[in-house]
Amino acid sequence: MIVINKNIIDDLIKVNSNYIIPDYLVKYYSDFDINIDELILLVYFLNNKSNLSFDINKISEELHMDAAKVLEIISSLLEKNIISIEVKKNNGIMEEFVSLELFYEKIKVYLVDNKQNNDFSDIYSIFEQEFGRTLSPTEYETITNWIECNISIDLIKAALKEAVLNGVNSLRYIDKILFEWNKKGYKNPSDIVRKESKDDDYIEELYDYDWLNN
């Protein structure tokens, strides 16, 4: 978390307390087509979770921002599906409140996808490191096919480890391991029940089956 003192951004947010900005918001806000004014308002909402009453005058006063400008920014955030306005009963009176659920959902999906993309990129480097050489175009395609078949990155890494432990640096060998695990319903390394001994006939059988095309 990053703490920014009000004096640093005095021209932007003039309040009597410090504001906390999540790291992910600083890093990725531009990826959501959020401009600096919208970022300021989001920071305000994130720091006032306990009181998100949709009160333009109150927000305008606390941010020292023109009410028309506040309404313009909120309208933009609504159009971008970053926030929403909900009607709730408060002390028997129906009131409007700002909801950040859409924002949290977008961030969650983005962070998950971003992590997966990084994992996908790293998996090729891991194979090259273990094999001690650059992967061929065909080998890149094979690994990509595993990913497109929804084989988890962790399971692919486990199959690579299995191959290395058996002294085999071959994607064909790993392909057969993944085929057998897939047939048994293994989705993650925790699903794997490792045998203490290996059957040579079983390994030889694996070489003769192309599970991606069958």
Same domain for 110 and 93: no
Please, what's the b/e burial string for 183-196 (b: 16 or more CB within 10 A of its CB; e: otherwise)?
eeebeebeebeeee
Helix, strand, coil percent values for the chain (each to nearest 5): 60, 10, 30
Same domain for 128 and 45: no
Q: What are phi and psi of 166, to 5 degrees?
A: -95, 5
Same domain for 130 and 31: no
For residue 143, give the amino acid letter: I
How many domains are there within the chain?
Answer: 2
Residue 32 is classified by DSSP as G
Same domain for 58 and 22: yes
* Residue range of the domain that includes 140: 105-213
Same domain for 87 and 30: yes
For residue 91, the domain's CATH number is 1.10.10.10
- CB-neighbour burial class of residue 46 (10 A; exposed 0-12, middle 13-18, buried 19+): middle
pTM of the prediction?
0.48
Tens-digit pLDDT profile for the chain (214 aa)? Answer: 444 444 444 444 444 456 778 777 877 788 888 899 999 999 999 888 777 888 899 999 988 899 999 999 999 999 999 999 998 877 778 889 998 888 888 887 776 666 555 556 678 888 888 888 877 767 877 887 788 788 888 889 989 988 888 888 888 899 998 888 888 888 778 777 654 334 444 444 544 545 455 4
Same domain for 49 and 19: yes
Same domain for 160 and 117: yes
Same domain for 37 and 60: yes
